[in-house]
Amino acid sequence: MLKRILSALLMSAAVAMPGAHAAPPERELKIGFVPGPYIDEFKLGVQPELEKKGYKLRLYEFSTGLEANSAVFKGDIDANVMQHTVFLDSYNERNKTDLVGIVQVPTPPMGLYSKKHKDLKNLKKGFTVAVPNDPVNLQRALWILQRLGWIRIRENKPVDVTELDVVENKVGLKLVLLENAQGPRALDDADFAAIQGNFAIFAKLKLSEAFILEDMKPPYINVVAVKKTRQADTYARDIVEAYRSENFQKAIRGDRFYDGFTLPDYFAVGKGITVGKSN
């Protein structure tokens, strides 16, 4: 009798104890996005990796990056994917927050688009160019116009660039400053618009349709952002691992939708490798 009781207890303990091949416990993870391609690339190659680890994903779309950052800081969501490091640092400084980027993600560069012009020849003086009105992205737009030889901007102004920093306007263009997300709509009225990549994608514009794409540097490649106090948490490390996984990289490289995107360093040796432009 005693042997049977001991045997039954051992069997119960074996059932209760998770084995090496037991399914991981389900954990809820809340991730925020703004309109653009980041939620789709997350679903394509990151979400499956996290689900393998036992996470239940809840994805939220916010109208603006300010809302998405506020949600992370307040703890309403665990992370967001929608901004580059320069914007993030600026947000932290102005709002006294402590968000940090933990991994870069494939990012479409800003480009110059038009519905009214087929080329850049024979432009009449006074043609209009819509540009973002926030200093960080305005600077990116002005760099594009400078690369075209249309303007020259003041040197040694890393932040808080304004239209007043245009020190030479070689073609007599007029800048029209708009909220960043309004860039695609401006194409109906302005001659050209410098449009941030995620808003261009959301508006069904192809990167290949841009007259010129910015020479995107790492500080302007978007990141996954979390609270600084949580960057070492298991979920944050798992997100990083999922983005860096071979399956995610294969998914991005195998989808022509991402042609023209600038890829993070972990996709290849070297920096800023761009899909569709490496061959």
| Extents of the domains making up the chain | 26-107+219-274, 111-215
| Ordered per-residue pLDDT tens for the chain, 279 residues | 444 443 443 344 434 444 444 444 569 999 999 988 999 999 999 999 999 999 999 999 999 999 999 999 999 999 999 999 999 999 999 999 999 999 999 999 999 999 999 999 999 999 999 999 988 899 999 999 999 999 999 886 556 678 888 999 999 999 999 998 899 999 999 999 999 998 999 899 999 999 999 989 889 999 999 999 999 999 999 999 999 999 999 999 999 999 899 999 999 643 344 444 332
Angle 30-273-192 from CA coordinates, rounded to 5°: 85
Q: What is the pLDDT of residue 155?
A: 82
- Among 108, 111, 142, 143, which Cα is nearest to 262's? 108
Q: Give the H/E segment covering residue 102.
A: strand 99-104
- 111-215 has the same fold as 26-107+219-274: yes
154: tokens are 């003041």
pLDDT at 274: 45
For the domain made up of 26-107+219-274, give the CATH fold.
D-Maltodextrin-Binding Protein; domain 2 (3.40.190)
Q: Which CATH superfamily is domain 111-215 in?
A: Periplasmic binding protein-like II (3.40.190.10)
Q: How far is CA 216 from the centre of its chain?
A: 12
- Structure confidence at residue 162 (pLDDT): 81
Q: What DSSP letter does each residue of 45-62 carry, written as one string? A: IIHHHHHHTTEEEEEEE-
Cβ contact 29:57 at 8 Å: yes
Instruction: Say if strands 128-132 and 174-178 run parallel, antiparallel, or are unpaired.
Output: parallel
DSSP letters, 129-180, are: EEEESSHHHHHHHHHHHHHTTSEEE-SS--S---GGGEEEETT--EEEEE-G
- CA dist 59 to 14, 88, 159, 215, Å? 37, 20, 32, 31
For 253, half-sphere exposure in the C-beta direction (CA atoms, 13 angstrom radius) is 13
Q: Number of C-alpha atoms within 13 angstroms, CB side, residue 96?
A: 0
Q: In degrees rounded to 5, what are phi and psi of residue 21? A: -110, 15
Q: pTM higher than 0.85, yes or no?
A: no
